[in-house]
Amino acid sequence: MQTFFILLCLALMICSAAAVMMFRSLIKATVCLAITSVLISIVLFLLGAYWAALFELSVCAGLITVVFISTISFFSKERRSEEQERDHHSRFRLLPYLMVVCGLALLALLVLSGFSMQSIPALPPAFAEFKQILWSNRQVDILAQIALILAGSFAVIVLFKEINTNDENKGA
């Protein structure tokens, strides 16, 4: 039964990920992205990776969505006509079929390789404590996360902040 739920969530996750690509509206795409993250969190929770599920839910589904929507509300002034919307949908009309074909191919590959959920190794007991994982085993990644957040922040500043300033100047 659990395997069925996991597969169901994965299928829904693929659909919502495809919807991210297909929506022209950035807000709608962001909401679909958040749904994708929520579904990943459920899969992680079902597989027993509680801390990963928690982080996926809080950071990817929560924080990232808030940042995206804030950024879009600051910068997005674009309005599309219905014709442009139709054009956009027609460009991505093959995407769902392509994803189904890829999904079936991957499934076939997994079946051929003898994959089963039981083959995933359990985390060793020594790694079970979250505090220990974060501060003792993955401490290098904490520094990396700081740098990653800085990289993202400067990317937004360089690529978007000054565009906004220029737009305001033109408006004046």
Binding site for other proteins (CB under 8 A): 109, 112-115, 119-121, 123-124, 126, 132, 135-148, 150-152, 154-155, 157-159, 162-163
**100 within 8 A of 30, measured Cβ to Cβ:** no
CB of 122 to other proteins, least distance (A): 8
Tokens of 157: 């500043």
- Exposed, middle or buried: residue 72 (CB in 10 Å: 0-12, 13-18, 19+)? middle
Nearer to other proteins (CB atom), residue 59 or residue 109: 109
CB of 83 to other proteins, least distance (A): 25
d(CA 125, CA 103): 34
Nearer to other proteins (CB atom), residue 85 or residue 167: 167
CB of 30 to other proteins, least distance (A): 18
CB of 100 to other proteins, least distance (A): 18
Q: Where are the alpha helices (DSSP H) in 23-138?
A: 26-46, 50-55, 64-75, 82-91, 95-112, 130-132
